[in-house]
Amino acid sequence: MVAAAAGAVALAGPARAEVPLEPVGRVETLTPEPHAHWVFLGDPLLRRAVLLDLDSARLLGMLSFGFGIPVALPARTRPEIYVPETHYSRGSRGTRADVVTVYGRRTLAPLAEVAIPPKRAIYAFAQGSAALSDDDRFLVVFNLTPGTSLSVVDLERRRLAGEIETPGCSLVYPAGRRRFFSLCMDGAALVIDLDDEGAVRRRTRSRPFFDPERDPVTEKGARDGGRWLFASFEGFVHEVDLSGDEPRFGAPWSLFSEAERREGWRVGGTRHLALHPGLRRLYALVHRGGPDTHKEPGRDVFVYDLDRRERVAHFEVGPPGLTYMGVPIGPGPGSGRLLRWLYETVLDWLPLGVNEIAVTRDDHPLLVTAAEYSGAVGVYDARTGAFLRRVQSGNASSVGLSAPFGGGEGAP
């Protein structure tokens, strides 16, 4: 009774807490120039990609996507970001509409939209689904119906330039100012050069450079200027040089010794190669497993000297973190040493690993790790392998890690 009376008096009393109204509709802007330590991390469940600052451990903003794996491709010469999107009129069903949306790099707000044929490929990883020409003129989107083709978008004129049939060849990778290539089912590469209108100026199909029956390459390549590197299921690196008129292929070299092969070492994850051209270092996410485990996560990163083709370092990496539906599980910023130690011990004990790696391409490079449902990324010193921090993303799932700024992925 006393408590009820006191509550009634409190409700009826004249004193009220004045809470200031929060302004709505405010748009923040990013710095004029992006930082090399900014990364994108996609979330196909929430249909978005978040932009993270690895130095300040802050979420800077997000891009809203449609159905499928988010892919964000920033321009080098314009303050724009290009995103292939698929939308359905009833959310998960209904009339399908595919577009390339142009977002402003500073506001992350949509600026324009270009309709493309409603057939872009949607699959479980991001690489190879779309590619931006080195001069920022054309965006090429891979289609799968199951027939294969490429939709070419003129980014300057904001229009669809055309569609190119690529029978027997899939995915698309940038390879020059107006050059792209696809991987073919017989182990060859299909190289396409575009003219000023986005039509095919030259089409070249190479000889097979890998055996798709005995040891196929994975689709998760790493670019080194005018060449690309792909790892095979058995851990052999195939180099594709596209800097000349005709594709050239180097002799495959092995990521593992014979003793390591007997121990079951192999590449793994959904993005297992990353490259720093300045350091001349290739990073490979690896694990121990049997045949056909090339998509299993790993806890080890082998580092190679690209010029000598030999390993120079071995980093151990742990799970990026624990989350439940994007909510981080673990000690807060003010937690004590004991709680942090306990968290790290439990995290290391759990049967979790890393699915994707990326490396920033600046003078102080970072190795970044992500796992499908970690909701966070792990940040390491790319030179020493020392663990630096975790950065929470707020994602419910994590697919499509990329470090595209500051001479990032795809840079010539």
Per-residue pLDDT tens over the stretch 314-368:
999 999 988 877 677 877 767 788 888 888 888 888 888 999 999 999 999 999 9
Domain ranges (residues) in the chain = 29-402
CA atoms within 13 A on the CB side of 99: 16
**Statement: residue 1 has pLDDT above 80:** no
Displacement of CA 47 from its chain's centroid (Å): 15
**Statement: residue 409 has pLDDT above 90:** no
Per-residue pLDDT tens over the stretch 356-380:
999 999 999 999 999 988 889 999 9
Q: In whole angstroms, what is the distance from residue 164 CA to residue 147 CA? A: 11
**Statement: residue 382 has pLDDT above 60:** yes
Alpha helix ranges (H) inside 83-182: none
What pLDDT is recorded for position 163? 98
DSSP element (H, E) containing 292: none
Classified as helix, coil or strand, 6 is helix
Q: In whole angstroms, what is the distance from residue 44 CA to residue 66 CA? A: 8
What pLDDT is recorded for position 351? 85
Q: In whole angstroms, what is the distance from residue 259 CA to residue 222 CA? A: 26
**Statement: residue 9 has pLDDT above 50:** no
Cβ atoms within 10 A of the Cβ of 280, count? 14
Quote the radius of gyration of the chain (alpha carbons, Å).
Answer: 24
Classified as helix, coil or strand, 268 is coil
Q: In whole angstroms, what is the distance from residue 329 CA to residue 350 CA? A: 14
List strand residue ranges (DSSP E) for 155-205, in order. 159-165, 169-174, 179-184, 189-194, 200-205
**Statement: residue 5 has pLDDT above 90:** no
Higher pLDDT, 193 or 334: 193
Q: Which has the closest alpha carbon to 267: 219, 231, 225?
A: 231
Q: Under CATH, what is the fold of the domain 29-402?
A: Methylamine Dehydrogenase; Chain H (2.130.10)
Q: In whole angstroms, what is the distance from residue 357 CA to residue 372 CA? A: 12
Burial class of residue 163, CB neighbours in 10 A (0-12, 13-18, 19+): middle
Q: In whole angstroms, what is the distance from residue 374 CA to residue 398 CA? A: 7
What pLDDT is recorded for position 38? 97
Q: For tokens 């003219």, what's the residue?
A: 195
Indicate the pLDDT class of residue 18, thresholds 50, 70 and 90.
confident
Displacement of CA 377 from its chain's centroid (Å): 12
Q: In whole angstroms, what is the distance from residue 356 CA to residue 37 CA? A: 16
Taking the model in full, what pTM does it have? 0.91
Q: Name, in order, each residue with C-beta under 8 angstroms of 174's C-beta and a sequence gap of 6 or more.
A: 131, 132, 133, 134, 180, 223, 410
Classified as helix, coil or strand, 3 is helix
